[in-house]
Chain A
């Protein structure tokens, strides 16, 4: 476990990086989406404080920054879970049985698609096309893309994660 101190240290240095990136973009208001991408990469999600900070730096109303951040699916407004399982439900994966994969994980784990477990350990999400459609159906487990997935193989992979999970939200 990281100590509180190193975490704080990291946040301070991330903030410094964000500030310098915003400077490089010349505080341009039309660079808002770029700035949010950078911030999310640094902090792994966009907290209210981060959005406020961006608003202040770009001299934009907070409501506008928040409006943009909520409009786009890729921006996360909540801290990510420790483990993530993402099931692609794009068309190519859909016709190859993506929903069977999703249902298998859901019924086995008790976790619903789009939700995070109560202990913030596991998140189960679906996305629309990860683009290696040639090897559909595709899932991403902790960042690793797996093609030609089957319910059996997927469960095998996930078994270690699910010990008494409860749906958080």
Chain B
């Protein structure tokens, strides 16, 4: 492959841009709200009104405020001379001489009206607010390109400094230097376990082998979270670039992306991205004219939560049933087809190129002492604003829930947030001062997980929330080990009994014991973490459980302290045994 010139592609792309742009979100959320229809209408109207020389319509990725979709961002150059009616600047932002306006719920009619705005007519469409706390309290590192670049055009990514990081490492970094830089950045895996990425890379690099694999975990099993999907649909090249840099650092020439089967659009966009990168010689053989070869293939999952677990995922890539195997051996030594394999999450790879371009100090300057950088959260549930949120790690929960999320819907109050999905726990509203980082959430008995954050209000019953997650784990247990297979069924049964009002204190004690047992004895992370939602609701919302117990029983019982760590749990069992005896 001839040496390609990224600068040239970028400047050509920028020169071809029309002064005014209409960016339509075409990520999954807005598509299901009808974005395609709006996009087509925009194009039709721009053609019809003969505006093609000055107005460009582009399909872009997620603009975060999913609950108001389909979202459209209009960029107007030279706002003083534009016929577009923008006397009312409220909610707009200025960006390099351009003014940016957000529109909510854009369907065919409002699309028509927005285009007519470029001929000076009054615009009848729902205006959004870029100045609102939802946007103003967020940052853009991972989501930097989302809503700005066109995911189906590699030139658009290159114009946004894309593939510069890969170019840089291939020409100016030794293998060790890449790993050193990633280690220094303090980046930790974004898939849930939060293992330091640089150290993982170092381990795979050290294992000498003819063949090595670089795998991207895009299985995203947490129901109610879509950070990874959004990134793949909005900015697929960012993930490919991160994987290629990893391939170079580790001496691997083959990558796989394991995508959830439920994500057809992400699969399609990745396929397009890979084809385009291959064509430009950015992936494939002799990348950028250097001796480095790296190809990336896609593998689609088929709907099994456990396949997000790394050993199950590898089994699935090899065409097997996705059941986990005990570790060690770790994938870093003995992974795909027995070869050393690096496994990282989508968002982990999404950080890599930016760290290379901007330096590890820049990255380490964000976040907290032990949790560096930013994190994308998927804020859903009973808050006013739902969608994607990117903040530095260490941001307090109240800022995310109340400032960004806008708090509870009218008349209700937020009671807790659930983080970490089926492996995580609930954090009560009294503790919303806690900074969101890996260690602080773990201390509270939850996990940061992959970034799901679900707000629960007074209409949600915590015991039912626990039951909901337990049912999920019960359905998703692969059945290989007994504690998880049978334990989740028993816990679920007990929770149902409590909800039905036919349980007594002995059942509650049994529930706690079972949870601890399943946690301690299961084979893989699924079973080990399945009791977390139950344990954390027991810890913080015990009174909700107790109020459901059979009445005759609860009168005999003294009130237990509301908060207890699992270390205290032993004491509590003793206490309840004593009270029962009395």
A72 lies within 8 A of B382 (CB): no
User: By the criterion of a CB under 8 Å from any partner CB, how many residues of chain B are at the interface?
Assistant: 50
B304 within 8 A of A: yes
A92 lies within 8 A of B381 (CB): yes
Q: Which residues of B contact A95 (CB under 8 A)?
A: 380-382, 454-456, 460, 465
Question: Whole-angstrom distance between the alpha carbons of A74 and B316 in the complex?
Answer: 14
- The stretch among B174-182, B221-229, B488-496 that forms the contact with chain A is B221-229
Q: Which residues of A contact B454 (CB under 8 A)?
A: 91-92, 95
Q: Which residues of B contact A129 (CB under 8 A)?
A: 222-226, 262
The verdict on A91 contacting B300 (CB below 8 Å), with A74-B261, A147-B33 known, is no
Shortest Cβ distance from B422 into A: residue: A91
Question: Whole-angstrom distance between the alpha carbons of A92 and B301 in the complex?
Answer: 22
Shortest Cβ distance from A30 into B: residue: B319
Chain A CB within 10 A, most for which of B222, B226, B460: B226
A45 within 8 A of B: no
Q: Which residues of B contact A67 (CB under 8 A)?
A: 321
A74 lies within 8 A of B302 (CB): yes
B299 lies within 8 A of A134 (CB): no
B224 lies within 8 A of A90 (CB): yes
- The stretch among A3-11, A12-20, A31-39, A104-112 that forms the contact with chain B is A31-39
Q: Which residues of A contact B69 (CB under 8 A)?
A: 134-135
Shortest Cβ distance from A144 into B: residue: B32
The verdict on A74 contacting B262 (CB below 8 Å), with A91-B380, A92-B381 known, is yes
A91 lies within 8 A of B32 (CB): no
Chain A CB within 10 A, most for which of B263, B299, B381: B381
Q: Which residues of A contact B478 (CB under 8 A)?
A: 71
Per-residue contact bits, chain B 447-483, to A (CB 8 Å; 1 contact, 0 not): 0000010111000100001001100100000100000
B387 within 8 A of A: yes
Q: Which residues of B contact A71 (CB under 8 A)?
A: 304, 321-322, 478
Per-residue contact bits, chain B 286-324, to A (CB 8 Å; 1 contact, 0 not): 000000000000011111110000000000111111100
B386 within 8 A of A: yes
B392 within 8 A of A: no
A30 lies within 8 A of B318 (CB): yes
Question: Whole-angstrom distance between the alpha carbons of A134 and B387 in the complex?
Answer: 5
B66 within 8 A of A: yes
Contact of B468 among A91, A127, A130 (CB under 8 A): A91
B421 within 8 A of A: yes
B317 lies within 8 A of A138 (CB): no
**Distance (whole angstroms) from the CB of B380 to the closest CB of chain A:** 4
Question: Whole-angstrom distance between the alpha carbons of A74 and B307 in the complex?
Answer: 13
A135 lies within 8 A of B33 (CB): yes
A121 within 8 A of B: no
B67 within 8 A of A: yes
A90 lies within 8 A of B223 (CB): yes
B304 lies within 8 A of A73 (CB): yes
By Cβ-Cβ distance, the 10 closest A-B pairs, closest first, are: A134-B66, A91-B224, A72-B302, A90-B223, A129-B223, A73-B303, A145-B32, A74-B303, A92-B380, A32-B319
